[in-house]
A and B are shown apart, each in its own frame.
Chain A
Amino acid sequence: MSTQTSTRPVALRCSGLVKRFTDVTAVNGLDLEVFAGECFGLLGPNGAGKTTTVEILEGLTPSDEGEVELLGRHWTSGNDRALRERIGVQLQETQLAEKVTVVETLRLFRSFYQRGHGVDEVIHTVALEEKRNARVGKLSGGQKQRLAVACALVSDPELLFLDEPTTGLDPQARLSLWDIVEKFRAGGGTILLTTHYMEEAERLCDRVAIMDHGKMIALGTPAELIESLGADQIIEFSVTKELEEDPVQRLPAVSHLHKRSDVYALTVSEIGVALPALLAEIERQQSELVTLTTHQATLEDVFVSLTGRMLRDG
């Protein structure tokens, strides 16, 4: 891993990043390194400091401490414009003007850059050809978000920032946005993406940093992070009578037991061994099974095991 990092070119690096607001420290000593050509995910619940981090990296918010290096440059008031030419930005809360059309919006954004894609090319990339002359106010949530990404892509950026690009979108709209991101990545672009959707990070990201309370609590590929649980299956179950936890934890192939309200989550390496043993143990404790589900371990489970909370709890 370390030999790999030294040879790969770095598109974005920050170290010791701190940002304090009056009532909270949003970012608390963050170090990140994003390699050129990778899709890097910042994962964490709402309020973890993802958006503040991204806006510092984008040069929109000054940090209190720490350094940011972007495409080999730093944010200063001097060469900002040259640097902005090379990055594409989608902000979490931007609402584009409603009375203008898709093509008019993109023409405006395109005009800010020296070089970039043709407006119609980008409209094609984000599959908005049919809405080319529709007003922004008439677009669906997914279409608006695709337009927001198109505005970020129109300059043909080297580095693309996407801040929760699919939050609040239906599954279909989410899929079509993922396609756009994957196309950009396939074309050699670097992406920094924030999300609180696990499946999004697993699908899109080469590497993921998990953030909580302004700090990074885990870093690796999705597979590495899941592997770090020492297991690949999760059994979730509930029972009629509360279980004594110690014997359950000592069952074969079980690495971790976590109880959240009345649902037990058992992290196991071999489900074929653990499941019969669990059923026998429940019977031995004279309890009865109410519900039982199993699933492949996900980043969500990683987050739960690291923080004891669910991601969506925030």
Chain B
Amino acid sequence: MQDLLPEDMVRFRRIEDTFRACCRNWGYQEVRTPTLEYLYLFTATGTLTPSMLSKVYSFLDWDGWSGERVVLRPDGTIPVARLYIDNLSGQESARLFYVTDIFAFEGTGKENRERWQCGAEFFGGAKLAPDVEIILLAEEVIRRLGISNVGLRLSHAGLVKALLKEFKLNPGEEAKMMSRILEGDWQALTKVKSITPEVDRLMAALLGLKGKSSSFLHNIKASFPKASHDFKSSLEDLINIATLLDNLGCSYKIDIAAIHGFEYYTGVCFQFLAAGEKIGGGGRYNSLVPLMNGEDIPACGFALYVDPIMKLLPLEKEKKGKSGILVKGKELTPEIVKACFTVAESLREAGHTAELDFAGREESSYRWVISVSGKEPSPFVLKDCIQRRPRYIGASVAEIIKMVSEG
């Protein structure tokens, strides 16, 4: 569990505001789903691995005698897919985004159990263009946040699944192997005994090389003419997306291992890395909506992980500091208190931040200090804490506003 302190919230809001602004500019609409969802929503699709499901916080609801359990939202995409099916499925396509926290049970008590993410999902739409759209949208958010040295990794879930099929495992073993791959354990695949020389060659090419353009994928296609139909069609899909990205000047690396965590992906998958950490990821998940008893609607989306991104942003104090105004009452008499609140209100109406103080607070961190005494005709003394100008005794409210506005 972690607190977000004022300086953390400045960074948090910067990420959130940048993300919101970008999404709106691309025509996405914001949604929010409940923190509590039914457990079966996440088991029903069969798309979260057992190890992910074993980490959900689940408990009995008010009607717990029914045996039905609720969970603290363990994933961002599935609830938004539910929201789309329940409420918006009449629309041909929907561009939705959200800022949300997700929860994962954590056995040691040392790591964070609540993580924030900014996500966007595109339901419906034509082929290819939405994949490129979400990649470029995510990339734009990261760019506008000023994070440098960001790597984009591309993979393809269909390609991984077709590759796995080449090993000719029984369905149980194949499912287990897929879970291990999704947990990042590609080594498991190299230990499979039934591996043929042709598959070995394919593995070496895909795991050993990191392509930098669609040409690499064309090379793969040419080198493995005997690959399965599924493999070829997934490869073709990835080639088309890579070509579009090439044409748009978006640089990336092809890394088949850049598929992680979610079984619901069916097509292109991508990850963003910065400073050695994953800061976002997403992909195409065409079967999720039908699996949830929705119509056969293709979809894709991504999420940016707020917690690692926050660490990459510079610390900045909230813009109070040297620009703020402190209104100090010398005593707590009714007249002084009234005068203080009145001048502070006028300042706020004029667009300034005005803080009240009756306890003799340290003045050094403010740009201006207005001391308020009971004296007539004007009770205000204005002090400029930066330019060390002489104090202005007896200023009127209008004069104060004029001076602080001019700086």
The answer to whether A and B assemble together is no
Chain A interface (Cβ < 8 Å from any Cβ of B): none
Chain B interface (Cβ < 8 Å from any Cβ of A): none
